[in-house]
Amino acid sequence: MSIRTIRTGDEPCLHKKCRPVTDFDAKLHTLLDDLVDTMRDKEGVGLAAPQVGILRRVAVIDVEDGNGVYELVNPRIISSDGCQGGMEGCLSFPGETGYVERPNHVVVEAYDRNGDLWCYEGEGLFARAVFHEYDHLAGEVYLRLVTEPPPDWKEESEEEA
């Protein structure tokens, strides 16, 4: 396990569609472990393979919900609903944030490192992270979704103050 270099800005790997994983082997296990190590080192909640230069449909998410790390290999969104707006950032665009609206609820199917199919359902930060990483696998970055927040929107930290 090691920490990989996160690709940033206009690097081509961030803007290309990823290929499906076909081999659930030691190479995939190493990639998943490295993604987790890299994500944690940079204090992120998710990281996708293209962010470290690997054009495969692989991402990891850890939203500290007590379920540990979600391994998403060849993920497929089954359904989504609701809407949440909030500030979003990305490890590939350090120091940048913007207001993004995403579905508040998601059901996603994905394989784990052993090729076992799982179905995950969640809302809030989990849903936001799934859609953010899913976009990376399609060669999209969150900046294309940034808009002005509605006039009545307040960040949670502002509401608590």
User: Which of 109, 133, 148, 160 is an active site residue?
Assistant: 133
| pLDDT score, position 50 | 98
pLDDT at 65: 87
Rg of the chain (C-alpha set):
15
pLDDT the model gives residue 154: 84
Determine the pLDDT at residue 153: 87
Instruction: Compute mean pLDDT per 10 residues along the chain, 161 residues long, and list them.
Output: 92 97 98 98 97 98 92 98 96 96 98 98 97 98 94 66 34
pLDDT value for 161: 34
Q: What is the spatial distance between Cα 41 and Cα 39, in angstroms, rounded to a whole number?
A: 6
Q: Contact 85/100 with Cβ under 8 angstroms?
A: yes
Catalytic: 140?
Answer: no
From residue 116, how far is each of 24, 74, 139 by CA, in Å?
Answer: 10, 11, 25
- Neighbouring-strand partners of residue 109: 76, 119
pTM of this structure: 0.93
pLDDT for 160: 37
